[in-house]
Structure 1
Amino acid sequence: MDIGIGLPGHARWTEGRTLVEWARRAEARGFSTLSVSDRLVWSTPEPLITLAAAAGATSRIRLLTSVLLAPLRANHALFAKAVTTLDQLAGPGRLRLGLAPGAREDDFVAGEVDYAARGKQFDQLLERLAAVMASGDLVGPPPATPGGPSLLFGGNSKAALRRIASHGTGWIAGDATVQDVQDFAPQLRQAWEAAGRSGSPRMVASVMYALGPGAEAAVADAIGSYYAFAGDEYAQYGISIAYTRPEQITAAIADFERIGCDELIFMGNDPDPAQVDLLADAIGL
């Protein structure tokens, strides 16, 4: 199982070069992937721009949006051009797109995109993106990766299963527990097989972490405020399932690997780049 790391974009970072330093350290310590999350009405950095900076600061580590709120990119041609440009900057095979419809209406109000129509917008974006990647719709540079970056989809709805089976290489589960993955995996495999897809869908899970003396405070501050929109109970649940001790990290790796995950991504909650080294030390990288 691959082990990735996620930028602390939802935490209280104040200097953009901090995120670039995270990217450099993540590659130097041997993590498989660097991921970045997405929100509009928050301080989260724009994912494609952030990964472009990371691509320039690194040469090997894979890059992932985890997850990008696809329907907010209402200009589908411009989005496709941004993706192929980033793919060229990163080089073949490094960029993957994790995509989801989004669940917070305020992001769509701020973006002047119809929240109720986001599923339709999402499907239209996927069709345009596929056309561009096949070079049948020239709106920018061709992708460096043959066929374009692979797509992972978030969510556990019937629409998510349909998109995975028709356009994707697999599923990405955010703030996941082992039980979450176990519950969804049979539906995922069934939809994959029913669509006549060969091989198996890739399963990627992401979890929250912080390590060191201030880990619990960092998690409470970052996750509590980030999920406050869903109510205190949900925010406290998010805090409770985050990983703050090395022994929890190693146990999580064993548990997610046991159930067949292909990759586990630890999302940062403390902006200090030393968190990269603390995580690498905990898992022996």
Structure 2
Amino acid sequence: MDIGVGLPSVIRGVAGETVLEWARSADQAGFSSLATLDRLVYDNYDSLTTLAAAAAVTERARLLTSILISPLQANTALFAKQAATIDRLSGGRLVLGVAAGSRPDDFRASGIEMGGRGNRIEAQVAEARAIWSGERRGFAGGIGPSLPAAPPILMGGHSPAAINRAARLADGWISGGGGVEMFRHGVAAFRAAWQAAGRSGEPKIVSLTYYALGSRADELADRYLSDYYGFAPPYAQLVLRNAAVGEAKLRSTVDALAEIGCSEVVLAPCGADLEQLKELRTVVGK
């Protein structure tokens, strides 16, 4: 199982240089991916812009949106061009994880209807792939930059509709931070849907897992997750209960995910201090 790390770009008040130092250090340490979370109405950095910056200071790790609320990207042609630019500048390292989103304030602030967002994702993925294939769009040809291959697309979500959509359209599925048992049930449903859709090959299956280490681990996890998921307090408590807080919980969570068949776990920090990354390296052997 690959082990990726989330960048602290969604933690309130984090300095830009800290985000880039995380990216540099994690890339040099050998983490498989550098990941961003997405949200509009929050004190965080934009996901795609953050990955573009990370691409400039890294060489090896994949650049993963885990996940991007892609229905907020209303101009699919522009979105596809931005994604292709990151992919080209990074040497083909972009992996797009997308999902429908669940926070009404994000949609209200963007002026986009929340209803119908699942259908919009389907149309968006089809259009983006057509653009990346070089489909002609005007007298000058297609929308560049041209790519040797389209970025892989993963889809998130635990509802039956989201899982079936991922099985039909995506290259794999991303589980949210609800813990090992939520992941276990989601994987079973996704694999069944993958087979029912007549898909061949092995899909990529990713788990987003929050972690906190050190003497302040409980405080960091409670403060961050209660704030970030404050729009849905019961879910915030679910995520907090299942976060990998402390070395023992982190080790047992990683082991359990690997046993279930996780392709990659993305360990998202609850604190922005670089000590969190250093301690993580010690625990996971990076």
Question: TM (normalized to structure 1)?
Answer: 0.94
| 1:70-219 map, 5 Å | 70-92=70-92, 94-137=93-136, 138-143=142-147, 145-146=148-149, 148-219=150-221
Preserved contact between residue 229 and residue 235 of structure 2 (Cα < 8 Å): yes
- The code of the aligned residue for 1:193 comes to Q
**What's the offset of the Cα at 1:23?**
0.3
Q: Is the 8 A contact 2:179 2:239 kept in 1?
A: no
The aligned counterpart of 2:64 is 64
Displacement of 1:272 in angstroms is: 0.8
Work out the CA distance in 1 between the residues paired with 2:161 and 2:131.
Answer: 23
SS at match of 1:74: coil
Cα displacement string for residues 213-268 of structure 1 (whole angstroms, at most 9, x for unaligned residues): 2221111111111111112x332332222222112111111111111111111101
Q: Where in structure 2 are the equivalents of 1:1-16 lying within 5 Å?
A: 1-16=1-16
Distance in 2 (CA, whole Å) between partners of 1:55 and 1:141 is 16
Does 2:20 correspond to 1:20? yes
CA deviations on 1:92-150 (whole Å, 9 max, x unpaired) are 2x11011000001110000010111322322221121011121114122112x51x110
- Name which structure has the greater RCO, CA cutoff 8 Å, separation 6+: 1
Please tell me whether the aligned partners of residues 179 and 243 of structure 2 are also in contact (alpha carbons under 8 angstroms). no
Does the Cα contact within 8 Å between 2:178 and 2:238 map onto a contact in 1? no
Residue of structure 2 in register with 1:252 after alignment: 253
Structure 1 counterpart of 2:168, which letter?
Answer: S
Cα offset, 1:84, TM superposition: 0.5
> What is the rounded CA distance, in whole Å, between the counterparts of 1:35 and 1:102 in structure 2?
17
Query: 3-state SS of the aligned residue for 2:245?
Result: coil
Contact 2:206/2:263, CA 8 A, preserved across alignment? yes
Q: Which residue of 1 aligns with 2:271?
A: 270
SS at match of 1:9: helix
8 Å contact kept, 1:27–1:60: yes
Task: Name 2:243's counterpart in structure 1.
Answer: 242
Give deviations 1:147-183, integer Å, cap 9, x for gaps.
x110110012333233323321110001032211221
SS at match of 1:229: coil
* Normalised TM-score (structure 2): 0.94
Which secondary structure does the structure 1 equivalent of 2:10 belong to? coil
Identity %: 40
Aligned-partner SS, 2:60: coil
- 241 and 186 in structure 1: CA distance in 2 versus 1, 3 angstrom threshold: closer
In the TM superposition, what whole-angstrom CA distance separates every residue of 1:66-106 from its partner, at most 9, and x where no partner exists? 100010000010000001101011112x1101100000111
Tell me if the contact between 1:224 and 1:235 (Cα under 8 Å) persists in the aligned partners.
Answer: yes
Asked whether the 8 Å contact 1:154–1:172 carries over to 2, the reply is yes
SS at match of 2:153: strand
CA contact (8 A) 2:180 2:242 kept: no
Distance 1:134 1:175 in 2: 33
CA distance in 2, matches of 1:234, 1:197: 32
- Contact 1:2–1:264 (8 Å) recurs in 2: yes
The amino acid across from 2:29 in the alignment is R
1:216 partner letter: D
Deviation at 1:11, TM superposition (A): 1.9
Q: Which amino acid in structure 1 is aligned with residue 143 of structure 2? A: V
Contact 1:206 1:265 in 2 (8 A): yes
Contact 1:209 1:266 in 2 (8 A): yes
Counterpart residue number, 2:232: 230
Extract unaligned runs of 5+ from structure 1: none
Paired letter, 2:127:
R
RMSD: 1.4
SS in 2 for 1:115: coil
What number of residue pairs does the alignment pair up?
281
